Chain A
Amino acid sequence: EVQLVESGGGLVQPGGSLRLSCSASGFTFSSYAMHWVRQAPGKGLEYVSAIISNGGSTYYADSVKGRFTISRDNSKNTLYLQMSSLRAEDTAIYYCVKESESWGQGTLVTVSS
Chain B
Amino acid sequence: DQQVKQNSPSLSVQEGRISILNCDYTNSMFDYFLWYKKYPAEGPTFLISISSIKDKNEDGRFTVFLNKSAKHLSLHIVPSQPGDSAVYFCAAVGGSNYKLTFGKGTLLTVNP
A and B are interacting partners: no
Query: Which residues of B does A touch, CB under 8 Å?
Result: none
Query: Which residues of A does B touch, CB under 8 Å?
Result: none
